[in-house]
Structure 1
Amino acid sequence: MMNTKKTSTGGKIADAIIIPVTGIVVFAILFVFALMLWSSRLTDRTAEQSERNLIEGAIHLKLDQIAKQQEDAAVWDEAYFRTIPTAQDPDWLKRNVAEWLDQSYGHTKSFILGPDRTVIARHDRSGATDWLDQSVLSDLRMPLARVRARFITSFTRTASGIFRFQPVFNDYNQSIFETGAVLIDGSPYFFSATAISPDLHTIGIQRHPPAVLVSFVPIDRQILHRLAEMAGLSGLHPSRQHDDALDLSTIILKSPNRQPVVTLSWQSSKPGSDMLSRVLPVLVLLALAIGTLTALVMGYARSATRKLAASEAKAVHAAQHDSLSGLPNRVYFTRMLSRSLADWKEQGGLIAAVYIDLDHFKDINDTLGHAAGDEVIRAVALRLRGVVPANGMLARISGDEFALILRDCASRKLIECQLDRIQDELVRPVKVSGTELYVSMSMGAAVAPQDGLGSGELLRKADIALYDAKANGRGRWSFFDPVMEEDVRTRDNIARELRHAIDTNALSVAYQPQVDGITGRYVAVETLVRWAHPERGPINPASFVPIAEETGLINDLGLWVLRRACQDAHRWPDVAISVNISPTQFRHPRFVDHVIATLAAYDLPPSRLEIEVTESVFAGKDSVILTAMRQLKELGVRIALDDFGSGYSSLSYLRRFPFDILKIDRDFVSNVGECEQARAILRTIVDLGSALGMTVVAEGIETAEQERFLMAIGCDRLQGYYIARPGSGEEIEPIILGRGLDVPTSLGSRLAS
């Protein structure tokens, strides 16, 4: 049954693909043929237009040539003077102008129109005199008028009031002319009308119209042959009635009155049609080949789509699920949460969005490797999947973070029971490569509708609840409460304001002195950061330093404190400056460079700088921190281990890390007067430090009894309220400078207090 369904699905998919593709192929083939046909016709038209432009250019050149030939007879002082009304000589003009143009250049007909528009002389090679009728003069009326007008406007008035003839000629011609074509006795002619003008510029009292020479060249076979040669064509001839059937190209020459004079025809080249006739057989073969290939491909596609239908579910699953755990991924989880919230009005009940985070998962990766971490993720996912109810959905949304949707919950109590079941599932250890690991988780839950009906809003509040669960001890769960959001907002505000305080030097530092346990001399001061907020008042470092750690501001904050301490160190020569450094700062790739640059900037010897770190520096991979410590050690900077005995307290770390100073945790010092065990531990730590060549510092000294005991067991340095309270540089400076080598420690303590 399943195979039949898959085959049917595959067939539908194949049909959905094959039919459109076949249509596209057929359309593409037809489109190619249509495109080739259109292209060939466009090419033919372009070629024809190009030939037409060449013929028109040849005609224009021919007319310019006729005008240039006319120029030899028209621009001539003697001819000009023999056309003046008082000295007209028609016979001379006919003989030396009209007949000369016929004999020299083949201008078979010509006439001269006097300044008063009367015909002075005329010539026809055949001897006819009646060819110059009113129709010819009517056709030439506009060209003659333009020539006469241009001649008259060529006179310019001089300063003395007389006129000088100064024509402006066109191109290379030195005459005023108009050219075109006319029909005389049914025969076509080219004509040129040129003003008869003097060679030299003349001066006269007034302007006067010119005599105009008009000559004609017949448009015969010889002329057309020359035009065809100039245009690079062949077969140019006057059009005849049967030419229409030959599909010839034509061009119509018109008279100045826009009347047809002659239609010229020629056999235009057909490059597009020629190309199409050569390419068409190849295109037909290609179309057949494409059709055959398409049929084969479609057959293969039908077979392939059946396999595609079988793997489609796997592809969808892979796109929506995490490959390591097999659980839905973040994208699918968010989509399902949005869908559940959209359906809430119809289904009712409560919907819980839960973030689940494995506690200290990074430590597993750091100590056992990422392969072990992957095994833990798979094992946890398997256990969680077993306790998620049918109306819930579990997803893995990041490395060690899971998310859960609980739908249709009748009450909040039911959600709490389900969260308890999930936590109970991890009470049993997880076995990884034969090792049993105890894994705990923190959970944060937000419940719709009271916490919102938007997926983004609900997940944001679940994340806030998760942060609360982790901040309050981990291994527990928390429901979102508006107070948590206010805490987050306050934390964010403090982070932004702390950034501003660092940038504007709005922070300050306090120094707490340390005395030598034998001489009673002040030998060091510990630098403590202080922040007096303009609105919130003094903010405890225990509040804002962790926020700086979370937001990454600790690097800038620590560097600011280091610079300030190095700057103030010049007040107390020979007194060491101790600065607390976070493990996060040690991991910064340029931490050592920053320390070196700061020491150089304030001209402070490295031997006067002591850097304090807590035992949390040993957590995780310590190669980067160890390298940084050794580099500082080589520079001469001293490294102090703060709060010794309160954390890892592994002696192997004291051997591996280059510590110079051990600072005893204040909890041991506070019990000196009451607990023998505390006194024994203090003796042991002092002896241990002495054996390792380290300076031992006891902090938190608040009584004379504590001071006497620590001096008695040989503690190197003493620090605490009994010795001196922290203060600004101005406040502690008199104390440091006023205590000498010969002042007993107990007396010095009383004076300081």
Structure 2
Amino acid sequence: MATVTERSGGRIANAIIIPMIAVVVLAVACVFGLMIWSSHLSDESAETSQRSLLKGAIDLKLDQMARQQVGTVSWDKAYFKASETPLDQAWLKNNIGQWLDETYGFCKTVLITSDLKTPFQFSSTGEGDWVTPELMEQLNGAVAKTRARAIISFKKTPSGLYKHTVDTPVSSEKNANTGLVKIGDGVYFYSAAAITPELHTITANRRAPAVLVNFDKLDSDIISKIAGISGLDGLSLTKSSIARPSLASLELRSPKGQLLGYLQWRANKPGTEMLRRIAPVLLILALAIVGLTVGVMDFTRQTTRNLSQSQAKAVYTARHDALSGLPNREQFTYLLAKALKEPQTEAEGSAVVYIDLDRFKDINDTLGHGAGDEIITAVAARLRAVVPGSGVIARIGGDEFAMLLTKCDSAESVERILTRVQDQLVRPIRIDNNELYVSLSMGAALAPRDGDDPGELLRKADIALYDAKANGRGRWSFFDNSMQEHVQTKDKMSRALRQAIDNDALDIAYQPQCDSSANQIVAVEALARWDHPELGAISPSSFIPLAEETGMINDLGLWILRRACRDAHQWPDVVISVNVSPTQFKHPRFVETILETLEEYNLPPSRLEIEVTESVFAGQAQTILTSMRRLKDRGVKVALDDFGSGYSSLSYLRTFPFDTLKIDRDFISNMDQGIEAQAILTTIIQLGQALGMTIVAEGIETSEQLKFLADSGCHRMQGYYISRPLPDNALTAFLEDHELNAAMQDTVNASVQNTRSLKAI
């Protein structure tokens, strides 16, 4: 029973005490806050009042300068002396500069003419050229306003002349512009006023007057006077504001808003004094909540630590590649820029290396992206093991890595590391039950030899990587200027090729193919030609690979196809053979494009023959097979070009439905070397015949070659012996001549046959 009562009493006590504590704490907090707020308002009010007094004292000083300046600027002799060319420097120094210094303490004086020049400068210390462009920039606004007021004061009279109304000294001071500027390390009061005539007030033209600017340095004496006027204690000039509760400050700014310094003083803070008297009571109250604060702080500390760990993890994730754990492109660029901020010399330079896995796409295509990820992880681990401690290895994206090497004394030291990189990839990488051999191509750029800008070095390393891949892969190249020239030339040519395709500036040459008797032209092969207005004739072996590399091959191939289909109507009954690149054949709308083009030019599909090489089958054999069958179903012929140059031509012949087999020209050129070459050629022809294909031999240059091929059963002949590639108009003439010659030859043959028959009778 007692226990129950104690528990009940405890609950009641808690129900009463806890709210009371909350009320008391709230009340104390409110009182504490009200006291602090009241003291703060009181301090601010006092400080605002003191600041107003200080501003008034400064304005009083500036008004005094303007009044003291009136007698000098409103003076006929000064007006004419300031307009003379050249100026009387001695007079101006004695009667203006020194006089104002000795009389009013103006330690510096400058005369600004109508063309904003400063031909007269005076300094009490003898300092020369103290009028700087920065000072003139600060004074521009004041000078402009002063001139404007002076010009307006000239009123036009009925006679057409202008009269200047002389102000009284009291009103003249209002025509001056005053303020503060910075000269060197000092802060100066200034007063700028236009030099105007006093008695000679009539003039033919209004013009901008010369402006006299006087300066008085804000030194300790003037600060003491200002402090006495404003009643401030400890007034001093500082360059920066010192953040102390006991100090107040006033910003000093130039007419342009430039911060010149601060006037600081010991502020009168009545609110703070009041708060200090009640601080012991507030301290007791603060101690009462220390325990609670400690608990909250501990909880906050734990929460903050967890948050910091989460934030650090997020930052790390943002700067590193999730798969390999290496820094990503953004982090690598940052680290590179940081490294290049250090002085780069030939003895201790840096190197940027771009690394690319050779034929990585083949791994993804054959084994899947999971295997590709394992390759990336394994390569990253091996690269990390090779890079020196001061270096960086990063994954830029896909199968590309980048390496930063610091403190490199020569290209040879970089090569030693690149050799170690290559050695790491000699060992195979085991994926499941497969052992994969991966090679790398690398391009390097050196700082400071190749520059010290991060972007420039990365670009040059990429150019060197391209050179390494272009020259056989599995190697490295160091950047040199010839590579850049090659890239620029290629870029220029690619842009020119783009324009040539768009502007229909290319041309087509057609090489005839005759039948085995050489009496009839049965087909022509369309060959692209490009005659550049500046570069001259450019070989297809140059611009066709360029189109492949830059992605223009589809547009170029379509242009050739459309042109060939258009020209084909000039030569009825002749098959038009068009070469198709692997990229074109793999385009998802390749078949539709061919059929649409045939329909557009009203060309029967049976008159079109497309030529492909074995490289078209890499990686997409089933897709290619489907496309071929669709074309054959519509009547388009398909030829396998350069047969015998690949390593698996026989399997393609058996699998894919080719209509035509073109024997590589190397077999034709070698047939004169012996019976072995002729036997191989005969075997190829017999193989094609067994598969029901039309056999085409290209590269025929002699009558002996033509006769041998005809006797061996070859169906069509192509080569310089029959004809070189011809423009469309020349081809038309060639076909007419060839048909006429064939007819004459038939007549001769018939005549000979008749003669033989008569003799036999």
Q: Same fold (TM over 0.5)?
A: yes
Once residues 732 and 354 of structure 2 are traced to their aligned partners in structure 1, the CA distance between those partners, rounded to angstroms, is 53
**2:565/2:601 contact within 8 Å kept:** yes
* Cα deviation digits, residues 263-290 of structure 1 (max 9, x gap): xxxxxxxxxxxxxxxxxxxxxxxxxxxx
Once residues 454 and 698 of structure 1 are traced to their aligned partners in structure 2, the CA distance between those partners, rounded to angstroms, is 56
Any residues of structure 2 matched to 1:651-670 within 5 Å, and which? 651-670=650-669
Structure 1 position 493 matched with structure 2 position 513 = no
**AA aligned opposite 1:580:** N
Give the TM-score, by structure 2 length.
0.57
User: Kindly tell me: are residues 299 and 664 of structure 1, through their superposed partners in 2, closer, same or farther at Cα, counting changes over 3 Å?
Assistant: same
SS, match of residue 693 in structure 1: coil
- Measure how far apart 1:311 and its partner are: 4.5
Larger radius of gyration: 1
* Cα deviation digits, residues 310-343 of structure 1 (max 9, x gap): 4554433322221222211111111111111111
Bigger drift between 296-305 and 376-385 goes to: 296-305
Any residues of structure 2 matched to 1:524-673 within 5 Å, and which? 524-673=523-672
- Measure how far apart 1:737 and its partner are: 3.3
Bigger drift between 671-680 and 596-605 goes to: 671-680
- Measure how far apart 1:305 and its partner are: 3.2
Once residues 457 and 680 of structure 1 are traced to their aligned partners in structure 2, the CA distance between those partners, rounded to angstroms, is 58
Once residues 347 and 609 of structure 1 are traced to their aligned partners in structure 2, the CA distance between those partners, rounded to angstroms, is 62
User: Kindly tell me: are residues 307 and 598 of structure 1, through their superposed partners in 2, closer, same or farther at Cα, counting changes over 3 Å?
Assistant: same
Once residues 507 and 347 of structure 1 are traced to their aligned partners in structure 2, the CA distance between those partners, rounded to angstroms, is 49
Structure 1 position 721 matched with structure 2 position 685 = no
User: Kindly tell me: are residues 294 and 475 of structure 1, through their superposed partners in 2, closer, same or farther at Cα, counting changes over 3 Å?
Assistant: same
- Measure how far apart 1:482 and its partner are: 0.8
| Alignment-derived partner of residue 706 in structure 2 | 707
**AA aligned opposite 1:659:** F
- Measure how far apart 1:374 and its partner are: 1.5
**AA aligned opposite 1:354:** V
- Measure how far apart 1:350 and its partner are: 1.5
* Cα deviation digits, residues 707-751 of structure 1 (max 9, x gap): 122112211211111121111112222332343577889x99xxx
Any residues of structure 2 matched to 1:29-48 within 5 Å, and which? none
Once residues 394 and 514 of structure 2 are traced to their aligned partners in structure 1, the CA distance between those partners, rounded to angstroms, is 58
- Measure how far apart 1:300 and its partner are: 6.0
Once residues 345 and 484 of structure 2 are traced to their aligned partners in structure 1, the CA distance between those partners, rounded to angstroms, is 30
| Alignment-derived partner of residue 523 in structure 1 | 522
**AA aligned opposite 1:473:** G
**AA aligned opposite 1:495:** S
User: Kindly tell me: are residues 303 and 632 of structure 1, through their superposed partners in 2, closer, same or farther at Cα, counting changes over 3 Å?
Assistant: same
Once residues 325 and 719 of structure 1 are traced to their aligned partners in structure 2, the CA distance between those partners, rounded to angstroms, is 55
RMSD (CA atoms): 2.8
Once residues 705 and 313 of structure 1 are traced to their aligned partners in structure 2, the CA distance between those partners, rounded to angstroms, is 80
**1:599/1:605 contact within 8 Å kept:** yes
**AA aligned opposite 1:306:** R
SS, match of residue 673 in structure 1: helix
**AA aligned opposite 2:426:** V
Bigger drift between 396-405 and 657-666 goes to: 657-666
Once residues 570 and 517 of structure 1 are traced to their aligned partners in structure 2, the CA distance between those partners, rounded to angstroms, is 24
* Cα deviation digits, residues 584-634 of structure 1 (max 9, x gap): 112222222221221112110010001111111011233443333222222
User: Kindly tell me: are residues 369 and 729 of structure 1, through their superposed partners in 2, closer, same or farther at Cα, counting changes over 3 Å?
Assistant: same
Once residues 351 and 427 of structure 2 are traced to their aligned partners in structure 1, the CA distance between those partners, rounded to angstroms, is 26
* Cα deviation digits, residues 676-711 of structure 1 (max 9, x gap): 333232222212212222112111111222212211
**2:344/2:350 contact within 8 Å kept:** no
User: Kindly tell me: are residues 725 and 519 of structure 1, through their superposed partners in 2, closer, same or farther at Cα, counting changes over 3 Å?
Assistant: closer
User: Kindly tell me: are residues 682 and 351 of structure 1, through their superposed partners in 2, closer, same or farther at Cα, counting changes over 3 Å?
Assistant: same
Once residues 745 and 617 of structure 2 are traced to their aligned partners in structure 1, the CA distance between those partners, rounded to angstroms, is 39
SS, match of residue 620 in structure 2: coil
SS, match of residue 397 in structure 1: strand
**AA aligned opposite 1:735:** F
- Measure how far apart 1:353 and its partner are: 0.5
**AA aligned opposite 2:387:** V
Once residues 661 and 352 of structure 2 are traced to their aligned partners in structure 1, the CA distance between those partners, rounded to angstroms, is 48
Structure 1 position 392 matched with structure 2 position 379 = no
**1:446/1:465 contact within 8 Å kept:** yes
SS, match of residue 436 in structure 1: strand
Once residues 335 and 621 of structure 2 are traced to their aligned partners in structure 1, the CA distance between those partners, rounded to angstroms, is 42
| Alignment-derived partner of residue 678 in structure 2 | 679
SS, match of residue 721 in structure 2: coil
**AA aligned opposite 1:600:** E
* Cα deviation digits, residues 138-196 of structure 1 (max 9, x gap): xxxxxxxxxxxxxxxxxxxxxxxxxxxxxxxxxxxxxxxxxxxxxxxxxxxxxxxxxxx
User: Kindly tell me: are residues 424 and 345 of structure 1, through their superposed partners in 2, closer, same or farther at Cα, counting changes over 3 Å?
Assistant: closer
**1:358/1:442 contact within 8 Å kept:** yes
Once residues 631 and 399 of structure 2 are traced to their aligned partners in structure 1, the CA distance between those partners, rounded to angstroms, is 35
**AA aligned opposite 2:384:** R
User: Kindly tell me: are residues 744 and 454 of structure 1, through their superposed partners in 2, closer, same or farther at Cα, counting changes over 3 Å?
Assistant: farther
Once residues 346 and 488 of structure 2 are traced to their aligned partners in structure 1, the CA distance between those partners, rounded to angstroms, is 34
Once residues 427 and 715 of structure 2 are traced to their aligned partners in structure 1, the CA distance between those partners, rounded to angstroms, is 48
Once residues 349 and 560 of structure 2 are traced to their aligned partners in structure 1, the CA distance between those partners, rounded to angstroms, is 50
Any residues of structure 2 matched to 1:243-392 within 5 Å, and which? 302-345=301-344, 349-392=348-391
User: Kindly tell me: are residues 514 and 411 of structure 1, through their superposed partners in 2, closer, same or farther at Cα, counting changes over 3 Å?
Assistant: same
Once residues 334 and 428 of structure 2 are traced to their aligned partners in structure 1, the CA distance between those partners, rounded to angstroms, is 33
> Which segments of 5 or more consecutive residues in structure 1 lack a partner in the other structure?
1-25, 35-292, 749-753
- Measure how far apart 1:303 and its partner are: 3.6
**1:583/1:625 contact within 8 Å kept:** no
Once residues 355 and 523 of structure 2 are traced to their aligned partners in structure 1, the CA distance between those partners, rounded to angstroms, is 47
Once residues 663 and 423 of structure 2 are traced to their aligned partners in structure 1, the CA distance between those partners, rounded to angstroms, is 39
SS, match of residue 678 in structure 1: helix
* Cα deviation digits, residues 362-399 of structure 1 (max 9, x gap): 11111221122112212222222222222221111111
Structure 1 position 409 matched with structure 2 position 408 = yes
> Which segments of 5 or more consecutive residues in structure 2 lack a partner in the other structure?
1-28, 38-291, 750-761
**AA aligned opposite 1:371:** G
* Cα deviation digits, residues 92-126 of structure 1 (max 9, x gap): xxxxxxxxxxxxxxxxxxxxxxxxxxxxxxxxxxx
Once residues 433 and 452 of structure 1 are traced to their aligned partners in structure 2, the CA distance between those partners, rounded to angstroms, is 45
How many residues end up aligned between the 2 structures?
Answer: 460
Once residues 674 and 333 of structure 2 are traced to their aligned partners in structure 1, the CA distance between those partners, rounded to angstroms, is 58
Once residues 677 and 392 of structure 1 are traced to their aligned partners in structure 2, the CA distance between those partners, rounded to angstroms, is 59
Once residues 471 and 477 of structure 1 are traced to their aligned partners in structure 2, the CA distance between those partners, rounded to angstroms, is 11
**1:429/1:437 contact within 8 Å kept:** yes
**2:523/2:577 contact within 8 Å kept:** yes
SS, match of residue 538 in structure 1: strand
**AA aligned opposite 2:687:** L
| Alignment-derived partner of residue 443 in structure 1 | 442
**2:346/2:448 contact within 8 Å kept:** no
Structure 1 position 456 matched with structure 2 position 477 = no
* Cα deviation digits, residues 611-666 of structure 1 (max 9, x gap): 11111101123344333322222211111111111124243322333321111111
Once residues 397 and 529 of structure 1 are traced to their aligned partners in structure 2, the CA distance between those partners, rounded to angstroms, is 39
**AA aligned opposite 2:385:** G
Once residues 378 and 509 of structure 1 are traced to their aligned partners in structure 2, the CA distance between those partners, rounded to angstroms, is 50
**1:638/1:661 contact within 8 Å kept:** yes
User: Kindly tell me: are residues 628 and 344 of structure 1, through their superposed partners in 2, closer, same or farther at Cα, counting changes over 3 Å?
Assistant: farther
Higher relative contact order (CA 8 A, sep 6+): 1
